[in-house]
Amino acid sequence: MVPLDPVPRPIDHVLRGCAEDIALAFRDGDVSYAALEARVGQVAAWLARAVPDAGARVASWLPKTATACVLPLAAPRGGLVHVPVNPVLKRAQVAHILADSGARLLVTQAARAAALEPGDVPEGCRIVLEEEIAGDDALAPSAADPNTLAAILYTSGSTGRPKGVMLSHANLWLGAVSVAHYLKIAPEDRVLGVLPLSFDYGQNQLLSSWAAGASVAPIDYLTARDVIKAVERFGATTLAGVPPLWVQLLEAQWPEEVAARLRRLTNSGGALTPRMVRDLRARFPAADLYPMYGLTEAFRSTYLAPDLVDAHPDAIGTAIPFAEVMAVRADGSQAAPGEAGELVHAGPLVAQGYWQDADRSAARFKPAPEWAESDGMAVWSGDTVTLGKDGLFRFVARDDEMIKSAGNRISPTEIEEAVLRGGEAGEAVAIGVPDARLGQAIVVVVRGDPAREADLRHRLRAELPSFMQPMRYDWRVAMPVNANGKLDRAALKAEVTS
């Protein structure tokens, strides 16, 4: 198990595997730790020549190529700040990130470069194709101050334009050590990287695996079947996902011997329902299941240990190593056990704020409560949680998603879990829509067969009080997801409230 060393280091020091062991596994060949370290040094040297100004931003718009995996280490080693752009974003979104970050360089591929139009690439930013980054010289591991900015990760923009979260070397390093430790990643593990590298959860799969000396197999996939084949091809022991992906994987056909190879499943980006927990347990009987809660502004806040999942499937767990997590009342005092409060995250995983956005930074990044153990800034998440007498946090809802109906504050999560409990629908999102009589009425967008609506309504009349009964169901064949693969609640809300 990776020791919990609290001393941060430059993030490019994270490659801790033996030189001959495999760090990256691709269909067309493997990359050893020695070869990866050499490539990081070569790319860092090339970038430092191309962009000689310390702290300048270098963006990448790439699928999961070897270059995309190297840049999170090479750019900081070269004294630069890496800005990964999700490869599924379109030109207008890419243009916003390039302009907002002030990127001096965009590393991409020819087809992507050709998709950009005049004005998309700001003045002072040039495009370079990944195969053009070459050279024999290499930079040695950096001696950067761990508090130096290393990356800007842009959120998916579910509420307005994407905003850039500033992450230091220390944020990335301690996040890697923390996750590698509590997931108990070992050198013999093979981690299948299906999540976008522009997503903090996806990028951390690289960093935490390398901190443990394990191997990562990055893949881009189109269908659940692609993931199943990759698990078999690479002999994956660890798979991370978000709820929409788990839904697809549970609906797909898995050869028993392939499902049995997985030893570790991790989830973030949305809560697992109790039914999904049961189904994952049944489908992957040899795997430990780690439900997790996080937000880009503090990387990750809590995890639920596998031995607690069956007894407490509704919990998001306890603070991860290096994090202090609290439930805080509106007046700043500590919420009592079982009392709802805002989740506040303090400690060294807290990001440095939003890039060039003082107003939004001030609203989200505020001093930790006086009674907290941690000093300095904390992330005030806007999420409502409770901390039980059992020491476990439970998610209630985001404050901006709470439904206020007939004087009641209703958690959409509670509605969604009730809808999914009986199996009439595969996915569900509960939304409050304006209503002259109630203030807000409940509309549930569901994926499934509308012929099951009568059964669903009959069951919920027995399970939920009258004020929690949905007014309307909006049945879909498929649900929209955002660039990070999460259900796009903002898009659905805009549709049903327009």
Q: Are 73 and 173 in contact (CB under 8 A)?
A: no
Taking CA atoms, 9 is separated from 173, 277, 429, 451, in Å, by 6, 37, 41, 57
R_g over Cα of the chain = 23
Taking CA atoms, 199 is separated from 83, 206, 295, 388, in Å, by 11, 11, 10, 30
77 and 207 housed in the same domain: yes
129 and 270 housed in the same domain: yes
CA–CA dist 205, 310 (Å, integer): 25
Parallel, antiparallel or unpaired: strands 318-319 and 302-303: antiparallel
62 and 199 housed in the same domain: yes
Inside any domain, residue 74: yes
Taking CA atoms, 417 is separated from 38, 173, 301, 307, 456, in Å, by 49, 36, 22, 22, 12
270 and 408 housed in the same domain: no
Inside any domain, residue 382: no
**Residues with Cβ within 8 Å of residue 121, at least 6 apart in sequence:** 95, 98, 106, 127
287 and 406 housed in the same domain: no
Question: What is the helix (H) or strand (E) element at residue 360, kind and residue range?
Answer: helix 358-364
Domain end among 306, 327, 345: 306
Domain end among 306, 326, 354: 306
Inside any domain, residue 347: no
Reduced to 3 states (helix: H, G, I; strand: E, B; else coil), residue 410 is: strand
Q: Which of 395, 392, 272, 403 is nearest to 342 (CA)?
A: 395
Instruction: Identify residue 51 by its one-letter amino acid code.
Output: V
For CA atoms 294, 300, 302, 304, the dihedral sign is: positive
Residues in the chain: 498
What pLDDT sits at residue 156? Answer: 58
**Residues with Cβ within 8 Å of residue 464, at least 6 apart in sequence:** 415, 418
CA–CA dist 287, 280 (Å, integer): 9
Q: Which of 162, 217, 211, 206 is nearest to 71 (CA)?
A: 206
What pLDDT sits at residue 140? Answer: 97
First to last CA, the chain: 51
Inside any domain, residue 279: yes
A 10 A CB-CB count for 69 gives 25
294 and 421 housed in the same domain: no
Q: Are 428 and 445 in contact (CB under 8 A)?
A: yes
Inside any domain, residue 445: yes
A 10 A CB-CB count for 34 gives 15
Whichever domain contains 481, its CATH number is: 3.30.300.30
Reduced to 3 states (helix: H, G, I; strand: E, B; else coil), residue 243 is: helix
Inside any domain, residue 314: no
Which residues are registered as beta bridge partners of 342?
A: 328, 384
Q: Which of 309, 240, 244 is nearest to 270 (CA)?
A: 244
In the predicted model, residues of the chain with pLDDT beneath 50 are 157-159
Residue 242 lies in domain: 11-306
A 10 A CB-CB count for 354 gives 22
Question: What is the helix (H) or strand (E) element at residue 384, kind and residue range?
Answer: strand 377-387
Domain end among 262, 289, 306: 306
Whichever domain contains 208, its CATH number is: 3.40.50.12780
What is the phi/psi pair of residue 55, to 5°? 85, 0
Q: Are 383 and 393 in contact (CB under 8 A)?
A: no
Inside any domain, residue 456: yes
Total of domains in the chain: 2
Helix residue ranges per DSSP H, 51-197? 66-77, 91-101, 110-115, 169-182
Inside any domain, residue 168: yes
